[in-house]
């Protein structure tokens, strides 16, 4: 499993990765000796076609108290749930990014020889974080494989999971396409760390729009 998100909740470590059988997407790893447990939603296309999970099963998630959100490479929906509530979801419209190419994924599920056609065609979720009790920041990258390295253009969306609405969609993040940046956020501020091949490193700081934005 490809784990891209690791979080903590009380005395438990949470790891985000789609199970090979397509059953769960978040594994709970207690710090005290006991059995592992798994929960979390999985997009239907992955649960029905587990063969897609290894190459196209990227998931990133975050937790805040008992609430959790998750974004998937194979879906344009942001999933959210809590320990005492069922899974819900909010559609993230594709304004500038590629979005999830479920048509190519379905074609691959039916004929695995077409898998190469689907590589790097969907937007890749690279970062998800709660920015308030109700709202979550989601960053997608439209990636390319160039000169044996990944390059990409990145977009930020803010989703009101409580109100089941999108506050902003696909805001272009003004970072170089190469090399890939690393993101983290604190409150309503997004930081991008970029290190050029010459060895120079800089940090870009942006305010996350928590109110409706106009593109």
* Residue 44 falls inside a structural domain: yes
* Residue 91 falls inside a structural domain: yes
List strand residue ranges (DSSP E) for the chain, in order: 5-9, 12-16, 26-30, 37-39, 59-64, 67-72, 77-82, 85-91, 124-130, 135-146, 149-160, 165-172, 182-186, 189-195, 201-207
Token output for 15: 């790891």
| Three-state DSSP state, 51 | helix
- The structure's pTM equals 0.84
What length is written for the chain?
A: 215
Domain that holds residue 30: 5-181
Q: Which residues of the chain have a pLDDT value below 70?
A: 1-4, 33-34, 146-148, 196-199, 214-215
State pLDDT tens for residues 85-96: 789 999 999 999
* Residue 130 falls inside a structural domain: yes
State pLDDT tens for residues 162-201: 889 999 999 999 988 777 888 989 888 999 988 766 667 7
Distance CA 32, CA 49 (A): 34
* Residue 105 falls inside a structural domain: yes
pLDDT value for 98: 96
* Residue 205 falls inside a structural domain: no
CB count within 10 Å of CB 34 equals: 10
Q: Provide the number of structural domains found in the chain.
A: 1
* Residue 207 falls inside a structural domain: no
Beta bridge partners of 152: 143
* Residue 193 falls inside a structural domain: no
* Residue 167 falls inside a structural domain: yes
């Amino acid at each position: 499993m490809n784990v891209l998100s690791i979080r903590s909740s009380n005395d438990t470590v949470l790891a985000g990765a789609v199970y090979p059988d397509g059953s769960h997407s978040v594994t709970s790893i207690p710090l005290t000796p006991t059995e592992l447990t798994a929960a979390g939603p999985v997009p239907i296309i992955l649960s029905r076609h587990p063969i897609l999970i290894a190459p196209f099963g990227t998931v990133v998630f975050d937790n805040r108290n008992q609430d959790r959100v998750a974004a998937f490479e194979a879906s344009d929906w942001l999933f959210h749930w809590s320990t005492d509530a069922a899974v819900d979801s909010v559609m993230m419209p594709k304004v500038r990014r590629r979005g999830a190419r479920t048509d190519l994924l379905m074609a691959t599920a039916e004929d695995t020889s077409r898998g190469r056609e689907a590589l790097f065609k969907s937007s890749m979720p690279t970062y998800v974080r709660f920015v308030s009790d109700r709202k979550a920041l989601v960053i997608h990258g439209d990636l390319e494989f160039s000169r044996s390295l990944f390059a990409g253009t990145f977009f930020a969306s803010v989703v009101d999971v409580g109100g089941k609405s999108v506050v902003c969609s696909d805001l272009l993040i003004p970072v170089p396409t190469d090399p890939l940046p690393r993101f983290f956020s604190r409150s309503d501020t997004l930081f991008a760390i970029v290190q050029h091949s010459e060895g120079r490193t800089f940090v870009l700081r942006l305010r996350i729009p928590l109110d409706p934005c106009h593109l």
